[in-house]
């Protein structure tokens, strides 16, 4: 098991190096000059040149890339817009996004897995058709439109939940449902497909022949094997949630990484955008690493094949 984990850790090195290059150069390819944004419309060309020199934007790209990487590790990289260390601001906002992502994934799993299981067990029944329709709706519905509908119904009309901000548990209800609805639909579809494949296996028939209860067969035998491909989808959905959080946090004014990324892009804040992109990539690859390790726990044969 240790060799299995060590191999996965080694594979993260080239991935994170490529992610750092992409995060760095993608902002330099984007139109706009951060120095011009900082000096404002009243700034002169001399002011722009001075700001570019102060920020090091006049130096060669390899030098700027080295400053970016070294600044990430020693904490010296500062945001152009907020004039604070980028990592400290990111860590503050990342906690807020983690709360939102946790409850969104909890909602997606709580809805998606049971729906997929029931849809497979009650194949071609009204339960299957209803579950499939709801899953398709969750996947197809744009998150920003769903967010506006939720605000209109539960905040404006019924006054049950706050429309924006972060504070009590009520503030997290609507954003987590909106962010988790698409993932719930995908997880439900994958769980149904995996369960249908497992329920046709010989060992399920053997378990039925032994007289085991339906609940024990489904939970103890079928679901455990069906969750192996589903876990890969869960890992990918965590990364998708980080991407979807940009829209959801903007609509609900949630002070997280997504909203920070939008504000930093508008301000052409190179260090902040690069730091956020690199952090998202890190979270994505670490999540997939944990999923690979969980594969090895659920199916020991995968440890030797990797």
Residue 256 shares a structural domain with residue 166? yes
Domain-located, residue 222: yes
In a domain, 4, yes or no: yes
On whether both 175 and 185 belong to a single domain, the answer is: yes
Q: Are residues 261 and 285 in the same domain?
A: no
Contact 85, 76 (CB under 8 A): yes
Q: Is residue 295 part of a domain?
A: yes
b/e burial code for range 233-254 (CB count within 10 A of at least 16 → b) = bbbbbbbbbbebbbbbbbbbeb
| Residue 89 covered by a domain | no
Domain membership flag for residue 88? no
pTM of the model: 0.77
Check whether residue 253 and residue 163 sit in a common domain: yes
Q: Would you say residue 92 lies in a domain? A: no
| Residue 121 sits in the same domain as residue 178 | yes
Per residue of the chain (306 residues), what is the pLDDT tens digit?
677 677 777 877 888 888 888 888 887 777 777 777 777 777 777 877 887 887 777 788 888 888 888 888 887 888 888 888 888 888 888 888 888 888 998 999 999 989 998 888 888 888 889 988 988 888 888 888 899 999 999 999 888 988 888 878 888 999 999 999 888 989 998 888 888 888 887 777 777 777 777 778 787 778 877 887 787 788 778 777 776 677 888 888 888 888 888 888 888 888 888 888 888 888 888 877 777 777 666 666 555 455
Q: How many domains does the chain have?
A: 2
Cα–Cα distance list, 13 to 74, 90, 122, 266 (Å): 19, 22, 45, 31
- Give the domain range for residue 274: 1-81+267-306
The conformation of residue 41, written as its DSSP 8-state character, comes to T
Task: Tell whether 245 is covered by a domain.
Answer: yes
Distance CA 264, CA 26 (A): 14
3-state SS class at 152: helix
In sign, the C-alpha dihedral spanning 256, 259, 262, 263 is negative
- Whether residue 21 sits in one domain with residue 136: no
Mark whether 128 and 43 lie in a shared domain.
Answer: no
Residue among 262, 287, 283, 260 at smallest CA distance from 90: 260
Contact 222, 212 (CB under 8 A): no
Per-residue tokens: 18: 């490529």
> Can you name the residues that pair with 85 across neighbouring β-strands?
78
Task: Answer yes or no: do 252 and 282 share one domain.
Answer: no
Of 163, 152, 292, 161, nearest to 234 (Cα)? 292
* Distance in angstroms (rounded) separating the CA atoms of residues 186 and 137: 10
Same domain, 257 and 271: no
Q: Tell how far CA 221 is from the center of its chain.
A: 30
One domain, residues 104 and 217 = yes
* CA atoms within 13 Å, Cβ hemisphere of 39: 19
Long-range contacts of 61-70 (CB under 8 A, 24+ apart): 61/25, 61/28, 64/24, 65/21, 65/24, 68/20, 68/24, 68/271, 68/274, 69/20
**CATH number for the domain harbouring residue 123:** 1.10.3720.10
The answer on 142 and 48 residing in a single domain is no
145 and 284 share a domain?
A: no
DSSP assigned state of 78: B
Per-residue burial over 256-275, b if 16 or more Cβ lie within 10 Å, else e, is: bbbbbbeebbebbbbbbbbb
Inter-residue contact 37 to 237 (CB < 8 Å): no
């Amino acid at each position: 098991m240790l060799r299995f984990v060590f191999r996965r850790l080694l594979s993260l090195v080239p991935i994170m190096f490529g992610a750092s290059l992409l995060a760095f150069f993608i902002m330099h390819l984007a139109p706009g000059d951060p120095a011009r944004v900082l000096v404002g419309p009243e700034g002169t060309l001399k002011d722009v040149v001075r700001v570019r020199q102060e920020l090091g934007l006049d130096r060669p790209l390899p030098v700027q890339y080295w400053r970016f990487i070294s600044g990430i590790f020693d904490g010296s990289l500062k945001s152009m817009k907020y004039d604070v260390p980028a990592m400290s601001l990111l860590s503050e906002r990342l906690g807020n996004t983690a709360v939102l992502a946790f409850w969104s994934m909890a909602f997606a799993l709580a809805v998606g897995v049971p729906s997929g299981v029931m849809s497979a067990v009650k194949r071609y029944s009204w339960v299957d058709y209803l579950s499939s329709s709801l899953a398709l709706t969750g996947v197809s519905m744009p998150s920003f439109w769903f967010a506006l509908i939720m605000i209109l119904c539960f905040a404006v009309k019924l006054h049950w939940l706050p429309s924006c901000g972060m504070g009590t548990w009520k503030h997290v209800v609507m954003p987590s449902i909106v962010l988790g609805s698409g993932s719930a639909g995908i997880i439900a579809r994958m769980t149904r497909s995996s369960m249908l494949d497992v329920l046709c296996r010989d060992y399920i028939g053997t378990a039925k022949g032994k007289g085991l209860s339906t609940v024990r067969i489904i939970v103890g035998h079928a679901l455990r094997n069906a969750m192996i491909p589903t876990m890969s989808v869960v890992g990918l959905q965590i990364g998708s949630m980080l991407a979807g959080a940009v829209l959801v946090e903007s609509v609900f004014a949630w002070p997280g990484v997504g909203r920070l990324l939008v504000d930093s892009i508008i301000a052409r804040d190179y260090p902040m955008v690069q730091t956020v992109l690199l952090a998202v990539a890190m979270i994505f690859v670490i999540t997939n690493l944990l999923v690979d390790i969980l594969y090895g726990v659920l199916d020991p044969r995968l440890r030797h094949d990797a």
